[in-house]
Amino acid sequence: MIARSLFLRWLGCVTGLALIQFTTAAELPVVTPEAAGMSSAKLKAVDAIVGDLIEKKSLAGASVAIARHGKIVYFKTFGKMDIEAGKPMREDTIFRIYSMSKSITTAAALLLVEEGKIGLDDPVAKYIPEFREPKVWTDGGTQPAKRGPTVRDLMRHTAGLTYGGGATEPDKQFRAAKILDRGTDLETMGAKLGPIPLAYEPGTRWLYSCSVDVLGRVVEVASGMKFDAFLKRRLFEPLDMKDTGFFVPAEKADRFATTYQTDKSGLKVSDAAATSQFLKNPAQFSGGGGLVSTTRDYLRFLVMIANGGLLDGQRLLKPETVALMTHNQLPPESMPIAFGQQKRFGVGFGLGFNVRVASNPEWDAAGPVGEYGWGGMASTHYWASPKHDLVVVTMEQTLPYSFKLEWAVKGPIYDAVVN
């Protein structure tokens, strides 16, 4: 009887704790724009802009969400998530977010930085032995690097790595090694990448690269957990990001959007929802571009960042850690940052986020100083302005990557802030 009594008491405690964990997550509150200091009338411009882009076949459909002071003031869907199947865009549509994965991966690594399991200035070789004795490619061949890449370098794209899209020797070796292969796990990826010569001396310039994928492997080594499991336990479950992961489970496939290629002739299917590789769990958990998510889930992550690491009364990151993410960490000589053939003027980079450091009409003219954000290959975008306490997520699935939707609605959204 005593044993039975103790068991029932234990069961009651466990059940109570489970209930507390289940009930602590609450949806972001929804208020009228006026209740959060914005204008409903001015936000109607967003409806017209998105409708016009759909009418012109610049995109098949979209989802736009705006939060101010941590409260949702606008959340609308437009057009189709799958034209061929006749499916309208939904609030819970699942999107390929590609490089919007990067800030999530960076946040995950920073959880371990706060716990002392990772140091920002630790050499990557501490976690991935193949990065020992790194070489740098020069016109005359390779030479020993002055120093190896660090964890901080991985987070801010100053590690000397590439994405393999250029014509240099490091690019060629990157492509030949098939570094970003969904069938290759992160341990194997790191082992193959380490011996490839670096494209430049670490810390001396900014070059968009696979560095955040490498960061995912660092998280695995430091935590002793597979990267997907770590994200689920330490970020997705606490933030109630219930539809975010590295693939779309069968029971959610009906909510998965199709990706379209757009050109002068209109929209053509690029990656059909019904046959996409994202329907299968990959071996490589790409922290740089492998996640799928919803507008609602990603908004929760961003509101946590905007709140200095806090959501639903639960602290995930310290305010000082979030400050590192959302403030420029690049030296002046690394700017403007070059994204392919484009240069982003007045822009720096924090730990995981693009950061506006100066106003400049040559690049994203509506973006205010202090704004941070990024996007994904299928033209998904997000940005946040601490000055306005404003967070915006725009989702679509359109190739090639385009700023059309972000830049079209950004000015009107800021203009809708009245007090």
- Catalytic residues, by residue number, are 99
Q: Which amino acid is at 407?
A: W
Phi, psi of 57 (to 5 degrees): 60, 30
The 3-state DSSP class for residue 195 equals coil
Q: What is the DSSP letter of 132?
A: S
Q: What angle do CA 260, 261, 262 make, to 5 degrees?
A: 110
Tokens read off for 283 = 């071996």
Buried b (16+ CB within 10 A) or exposed e, 133-170: ebbbbeeeeeeebeebbbbbbbbbbbbbbbbbeeebbb
Q: What is the DSSP letter of 29?
A: P
Q: Which amino acid is at 235?
A: L
Under a CB-based contact definition with an 8 Å cutoff, are residues 69 and 303 in contact? no
Cα separation, 222 vs 111, whole angstroms: 11
Q: What is the DSSP letter of 245?
A: B
Residue with tokens 């609030």: 91
The 3-state DSSP class for residue 260 equals strand
57: nearest Cα among 404, 392, 395: 404
Q: What is the dihedral of CA 233, 287, 117, 326, to 10 degrees?
A: -100
Q: What is the DSSP letter of 267?
A: E
